[in-house]
Amino acid sequence: MAKHIFVTGGVVSSLGKGITAASLAHLLKARGYKVTMQKIDPYLNVDPGTMSPYQHGEVFVTDDGYESDLDLGHYERFIDESLTRESNFTQGAIYQSLITKERRGDFLGGTVQVIPHVTNAIKERLYRIADQTQADIVISEIGGTVGDIESQPFIEAARQFKKEKPAGDVVFIHCTLVPYIAAAHEVKTKPTQHSVKELRSVGVQPDFIVCRSDHEISQSVREKIALFCDVTPEDVIACIDAPSIYQVPLALYDQSFDGKVLSRLGLPAYGLPDLAPLRKFLSDQDNCHGEVDIAIVGKYVQLPDAYLSIMEALHHAGVANGVATNLHLIDAEKVSDASAPELLGSMDAVLVPGGFGARAFEGKIAAVRFAREQKIPFFGICLGLQAAVCEFARNVAGLEGATSSEFDEQAAYQVVDIMPDQRNIDEKGGTMRLGAYPCKLRKDTRAFEIYGDEVIYERHRHRFEVSNVYRPRLEEAGLVVSGESPDGRLTEMVELEDHPWFVATQAHPEFKSRPTRPHPLFTSFVAAAKAKRQG
């Protein structure tokens, strides 16, 4: 039977609950336990797939094609496991399933209510993930902040769940902010006291309190929080801002957080956890010499979280190459043939990431053109591949004005077109080509050399593809299709020969990069940037 850990948040959002939860998971896995994680989001969207990157950061995609919250990316990177659609659900999804049942008549005329119907549906998900994954420990992060109206059913469900399970099977961890007030020269515990009071008012007593702060949490502060919040001072854990998120597991380990949690759950803490791979990554990170400047030319640059997995993947690859990666988020709307030399001229590499909609597409084309002509290493991801193909079509293959039918259905040369199985789809949610698909690599290509495998799997999230009508013409002009779907119907990767490093993929390889297992495409791309830097 699985043990369960709930992680709640107090005082403010964006506390890094996900990193705390994932760091604890890393330690428990390193102790030999089978750990899984899930994110529970209280909002009413059915999934995050249709939410704006400006509001919600990137949409992370799982192997089985679920469009999830970006915290799943942290989970995967910290526990080095591929998660599934079981690992994220929203209040919207819970309501959708209940309303579908109600319309079908499943409730036989009964009144459908938050308690017990919504809470039962939430608990069902808690039992189901334990059942399906056969994990020893399930960590569930409840999104939002304690006290929010919309998170109440989740806290209540977790409370009931604890009552249903044998004593000692469920642990609550409450993450709060302990702010430093400069004028008083001290950190303040009152917000934590209030947020724990709020949690206790709905029947949940936290077992541990994790204090997020940019200042040290002294013993007397721990004692004060312990006294007011009814825990012991040892159960008040400090989580101080760290220069690297990957240091957080070690900071928690230094306070024996994993051992304390295991003991509360009645599980043995055998020997010492295997933290060697993480420690190696951190020491490599500290020992980087030199740096590279990499431009990410996108349209959602005001919110860096929109490119979170790409930035992490570049960082992992930098560490693997022994260089710091200075990432420059460049607004594609500002890039043109005229401005490219100034904006991109000093870069060691250019990456064009995924995106939707016409705005800023021309800037991406200009960035591709500059990187191609100036022989700057170029990496195109999803819409980045489509931009690379349009640019090549226009400026090399002579197809003037070539574009994607996503942006102009009247254009003369629609070299990127809607996939046939997407043509008649009207609903936006969860209907793209999603999740892991196989890709066959052509033997004599850079892609094959990098992956070292003939068939690879990457995760997808798109509706458009390189048009097979124009593919022969593009290939004749020199575009190398280095990867395609096994049936040959879909162009999955392209590259150029007469260039130091020009590779684009229709998939999102960034989702599979982990600190301890950097992604080969990113590692090779950063190596090319490093080579350019060193001249």
Residues lying near ligand GLN in the complex (CB under 6 A) are found at 354-356, 382-383, 406, 461-464
Smallest distance from ligand GLN to CB 318, Å? 23
Helix (H, G, I), strand (E, B) or coil at 534: coil
- Residue number closest to ligand GLN, CB atom: 354
Catalytic residue among 175, 439, 510, 519: 510
Nearer of residues 12 and 358 to ligand GLN, judged by Cβ: 358
Give the position of tokens 């930035």: 311
Nearer of residues 369 and 461 to ligand GLN, judged by Cβ: 461
Nearer of residues 260 and 461 to ligand GLN, judged by Cβ: 461
Q: Indicate if the alpha-carbon torsion angle 73, 76, 82, 83 is positive or negative.
A: negative
Smallest distance from ligand GLN to CB 480, Å? 21
DSSP string, 115-159: IIIIHHHHHHHHHHHHHHH--SEEEEEEPS-TT-TTTHHHHHHHH
Smallest distance from ligand GLN to CB 242, Å? 31
Smallest distance from ligand GLN to CB 404, Å? 7
Kindly provide the b/e burial profile for residues 121-143, where b requires at least 16 CB atoms within 10 angstroms of the residue's own CB: bbbebbeebbeebebbbbbbbbb
Q: Is 510 a catalytic residue?
A: yes
Beta bridge partners of residue 237, listed in sequence order: 210
Helix (H) or strand (E) holding 298: strand 291-298
Beta carbons within 8 Å of 515's beta carbon, 6+ residues apart: 77, 246, 278, 281, 312, 316, 319
What number of other Cβ atoms are within 10 A of residue 200's Cβ? 15
Nearer of residues 456 and 504 to ligand GLN, judged by Cβ: 504
Nearer of residues 78 and 464 to ligand GLN, judged by Cβ: 464
Nearer of residues 31 and 462 to ligand GLN, judged by Cβ: 462
Smallest distance from ligand GLN to CB 21, Å? 27
Could you give the CA distance from residue 370 to residue 322 in angstroms, rounded to a whole number?
27
Distances, alpha carbon 41 to alpha carbons 78, 151, 480, 498, in Å: 20, 8, 43, 48
Beta bridge partners of residue 6, listed in sequence order: 140, 172
What number of other Cβ atoms are within 10 A of residue 395's Cβ? 17
Smallest distance from ligand GLN to CB 207, Å? 41
Distances, alpha carbon 56 to alpha carbons 43, 70, 142, in Å: 12, 8, 16
How far does Cα 82 stand from its chain's mean position? 12
Strands of 353-454, DSSP E: 378-381, 403-404, 414-418, 433-441
Burial of residue 331 (number of CB atoms within 10 Å: 0-12, 13-18, 19+): middle
R_g of the chain computed on alpha carbons: 25
Nearer of residues 94 and 385 to ligand GLN, judged by Cβ: 385
Beta bridge partners of residue 455, listed in sequence order: 440
Give the position of tokens 């990499």: 294
Smallest distance from ligand GLN to CB 166, Å? 45
Catalytic residue among 229, 382, 390, 439: 382
Nearer of residues 340 and 387 to ligand GLN, judged by Cβ: 387
CB 72 within 8 A of CB 89: no
Nearer of residues 117 and 462 to ligand GLN, judged by Cβ: 462
Beta bridge partners of residue 49, listed in sequence order: none
Smallest distance from ligand GLN to CB 385, Å? 8
Catalytic residue among 117, 215, 316, 508: 508
Q: Which two tokens stand for residue 460?
A: 């997808």
CB 14 within 8 A of CB 56: no
- Cross-sheet strand order for the sheet of 403-404: 403-404, 414-418, 464-466
How far does Cα 135 stand from its chain's mean position? 22
Could you give the CA distance from residue 476 to residue 479 in angstroms, rounded to a whole number?
7
Smallest distance from ligand GLN to CB 362, Å? 15
Could you give the CA distance from residue 519 to residue 456 in angstroms, rounded to a whole number?
12
Helix (H, G, I), strand (E, B) or coil at 392: helix
Smallest distance from ligand GLN to CB 312, Å? 17
Nearer of residues 76 and 406 to ligand GLN, judged by Cβ: 406
Q: Known catalytic residues?
A: 382, 508, 510
